[in-house]
Structure 1
């Protein structure tokens, strides 16, 4: 699936007609020969409308950068590519400079994904994927992908999905995923981010803000390899915001298993609040999940629900969860959490979440806030 590295001497800004030539190896664009003879284009394609965008994604090749000028794009078919970049000749899909770009799926056929990437070494950044009839952005069996500073909002299923065997070494950084709801399933499938139905090591989610989705903030259903989740927030999930009389959304902040998997995910420095089920749950995953310095606040069920597996919990903080701070099984190891003997519960500087909804910092990182912060870095320091 992966290609050898090519050499690249120059970059040109191409018309969309030249972009097709890049993909076929024709035209006046430099194609560096790799050691095995495969060719990788070094080209920048600037697009200004949906037709150009669809063609550019379809015809992308290793080394191509597709940059979108400001505006809202309405594709009429799923943006789909099976092309592979390489570690030194990535395929990049990005906004032009600091311009604001929305890719809107409201003109897609029912049941369509907005975008599907089925290749290695892609960088997708600084874009919004919204109003899809189904999933917003789906990445399948990807190696070495980077998905940074994205918004996936108001889609008809999960906002962002990683899936498939061989899904290895991907980074999801600074994702905002919110308002996703699947009317066909009455809300039971649309998560903020779903890492599902696959395997592959080295996948990391950091700086995510997953909120007001109909199902869970994050769902790791039937993903059989460890995933690292850190410095992320999940809140307000599982509420019926769509007046669905048959609503079935779950509403966990972090659902860390399910479907018979036994896997030791790593979950550090995250926060979950105001969800309609648990803040953090194993969801029947019997693996040795590691949870350190996470904060759960005011969820409708338990802050930390790990009743059947071998989870390892340390220095976590639960306050105000209606189902109790924790529900733990006999094989769970719990130490230095605020429900353990002799551990004090520090006071929060603020219980007003307003600033947590605010704009991100210039580099895309989560907004500064005093919400749920404490004077201690020893316990529950997710927001500190």
Structure 2
């Protein structure tokens, strides 16, 4: 007996429906399609101690959300994430609600990074990374990362670092970074579409922001750098790259407010303000930078 097209579609739909299994688990669910063995997994995991935090980060898959309850988490080895999320299913690591979460490096061995994300499409927000003997949070060769409302404080090296080739389309938003060597660095790599916005970078012994040897343009906007060594260090290491630096403020730094740092590229600086820096407010001796509508005041 030949089935009509309508009846054929109905029979197929019932077959697929019968093959779907829905299994509930702690913190999430898994929807499996037995026709082709494909499985899509998504989960929300709430953690409240260091061991569970380490496990959740290690075992994350696209779509995982890790909610961290308030408190101090002190790993004895670098908190490491190697999974990739996707554009439609990022991996999220964030504080539970408005609770205060401090990831603390005081138990790490000398030279260890506190946290390392070596994967793409991670969203990390509302967390503090503090007291590392070296870097606070390092992000390597990430695409599409969002790092929002973070604090990086009192780390032995840079508070937040984006590094490596293939560092593409990452957003750092509303970072507070203080008491480190450098506040934030985008360095030793390449990749387009990276943006730092709304950062507050202060009381760092080196630069507030450091773009050392990053060979692709970075956008830096609406950020403040004060009481650092230099405020905004915009290159160095032989690179020639036209970073875009707009609507920032640098003041009361021990050296320069904005400096090319030996970057020979046509850096674009628009509508920035600098004052009270002990060196120069705008230090661009190579004369390749393009400065438009900036303000300085020698107080």
**Fold match (TM-score > 0.5):** yes
Q: Please list the CA deviations of residues 307-364 of structure 1 after superposition, one character each: whole Å capped at 9, or x if unmatched.
A: 114111011011116xxxxxxxxxxxxxxxxxxxxxxxxxxxxxxxxxxxxxxxxxxx
Change (3 A) 1:118 1:86: same
Aligned to 2:282: 304
Q: Structure 1 residue 110: deviation in Å?
A: 1.3
Q: Structure 1 residue 41: deviation in Å?
A: 2.4
Question: Is the counterpart of residue 14 in structure 1 residue 26 in structure 2?
Answer: yes
Question: Is the counterpart of residue 82 in structure 1 residue 85 in structure 2?
Answer: no
Q: Is this contact kept in 1: 2:30–2:39, CA < 8 A? A: no
Q: Please list the CA deviations of residues 94-115 of structure 1 after superposition, one character each: whole Å capped at 9, or x if unmatched.
A: 0001111111110111111110
Q: Is this contact kept in 1: 2:23–2:31, CA < 8 A? A: no
Equivalent-residue separation in structure 2 for 1:288 and 1:269 (angstroms): 17
Aligned to 2:18: none
Equivalent-residue separation in structure 2 for 1:292 and 1:270 (angstroms): 9
Paired residue for 1:285, among 215, 239, 263? 263
Q: For residue 72 of structure 1, give the secondary structure of its aligned residue in structure 2.
A: strand
Q: Is this contact kept in 2: 1:292–1:314, CA < 8 A? A: yes
Q: For residue 86 of structure 1, give the secondary structure of its aligned residue in structure 2.
A: coil
Q: TM-score w.r.t. structure 1 length?
A: 0.69
Aligned to 2:205: 214
Q: Structure 1 residue 39: deviation in Å?
A: 4.9
Q: Is this contact kept in 1: 2:129–2:137, CA < 8 A? A: yes
Q: Structure 1 residue 40: deviation in Å?
A: 4.6
Q: TM-score w.r.t. structure 2 length?
A: 0.89
Paired residue for 1:227, among 214, 218, 229? 218
Q: Structure 1 residue 38: deviation in Å?
A: 7.0
Question: Is the counterpart of residue 275 in structure 1 residue 253 in structure 2?
Answer: yes
- Tell which structure's C-alpha radius of gyration is larger: 2
Aligned to 2:73: 73
Question: Is the counterpart of residue 119 in structure 1 residue 119 in structure 2?
Answer: yes
Q: Specify every segment of 5 or more residues in structure 1 that has no aligned partner in the other structure, as ranges.
A: 1-9, 16-27, 181-189, 238-250, 322-384
Aligned to 1:47: 47
Question: Is the counterpart of residue 266 in structure 1 residue 244 in structure 2?
Answer: yes
Residue correspondences, number:
277
Give the structure with the larger strand fraction: 2
Equivalent-residue separation in structure 1 for 2:139 and 2:156 (angstroms): 16
The runs of at least 4 aligned residues of structure 1 exceeding 6 Å deviation read 10-13
Equivalent-residue separation in structure 2 for 1:32 and 1:279 (angstroms): 56
Equivalent-residue separation in structure 1 for 2:171 and 2:23 (angstroms): 26
Aligned to 1:174: 174
Aligned to 1:149: 149
Q: Structure 1 residue 14: deviation in Å?
A: 3.0
